[in-house]
């Protein structure tokens, strides 16, 4: 199989997994700005094709939102694929270095917390779910 076709399959499956979980994919800088200009809390999952994204971050992203408190807006950008959108999202993560996969929790377009790759890689999905839900408890309203 040609490498590009193989990667298209992997990227497509990774995109589908997170959007099927309820996250809105933003693929351009303009879409990022529009999505993050919304009032309220937003969780941005920076998606990736690496093993810790597929084995930990995406499953955690899907599970964490089934909780009493959660962000009002669920968004995702894809590092290495939608580069301009990812770069724009990272501009909102002021004070945090680029990291993928990662999660950024924002309130009214301002970052309040990040879960970077080093808090995902080598951890179980349940550990990451717990971290996310702790952030939801601190910053989000009941649904």
Give the phi and the psi of residue 50 in degrees, each rounded to 5: -70, 165
Q: pLDDT (tens digit, 9 = 90+) per residue, 16-74? A: 999 999 999 999 999 999 999 999 999 999 999 999 999 999 999 999 999 999 999 99
| Burial of 69 from C-beta contacts in 10 A (0-12 / 13-18 / 19+) | middle
Which tokens hold the place of 69? 């408190």
pTM as predicted: 0.94
pLDDT beyond 70 at 1? no
pLDDT beyond 80 at 108? yes
**Residue 72 and residue 44: Cα distance in Å, rounded?**
11
Give the model's pLDDT for residue 143.
Answer: 79
Give the model's pLDDT for residue 82.
Answer: 95
Q: pLDDT (tens digit, 9 = 90+) per residue, 122-132? A: 999 999 999 99
Give the model's pLDDT for residue 28.
Answer: 98
Q: Domain 1-139 has what CATH class?
A: alpha beta
Tell me the domain boundaries of the chain: 1-139
The DSSP bridge partners found for residue 113 are 105
Give the model's pLDDT for residue 105.
Answer: 98
pLDDT beyond 60 at 83? yes
Distances (CA, A) of 130 to 10, 16, 102, 115: 27, 24, 15, 11
Catalytic residues: 50, 52
Give the model's pLDDT for residue 58.
Answer: 98
């Amino acid at each position: 199989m040609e490498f590009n076709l193989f990667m298209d399959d992997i990227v497509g499956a990774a995109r589908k997994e997170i959007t099927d979980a309820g996250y809105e994919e933003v693929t351009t800088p303009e879409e990022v700005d529009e999505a993050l200009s919304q009032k309220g809390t937003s969780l941005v999952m920076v998606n990736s094709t690496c093993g810790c994204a597929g084995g930990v971050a995406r499953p955690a992203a899907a599970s964490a939102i089934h909780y009493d408190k959660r962000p009002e807006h669920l968004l995702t950008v894809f590092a290495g694929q939608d580069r301009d959108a990812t770069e724009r999202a990272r501009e909102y993560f002021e004070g945090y270095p680029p990291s993928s996969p990662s999660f950024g929790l924002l309130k009214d377009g301002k970052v309040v917390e990040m879960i970077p790759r080093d808090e995902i890689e080598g951890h179980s999905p349940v550990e990451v779910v717990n971290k996310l839900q702790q952030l939801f408890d601190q910053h989000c309203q009941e649904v």
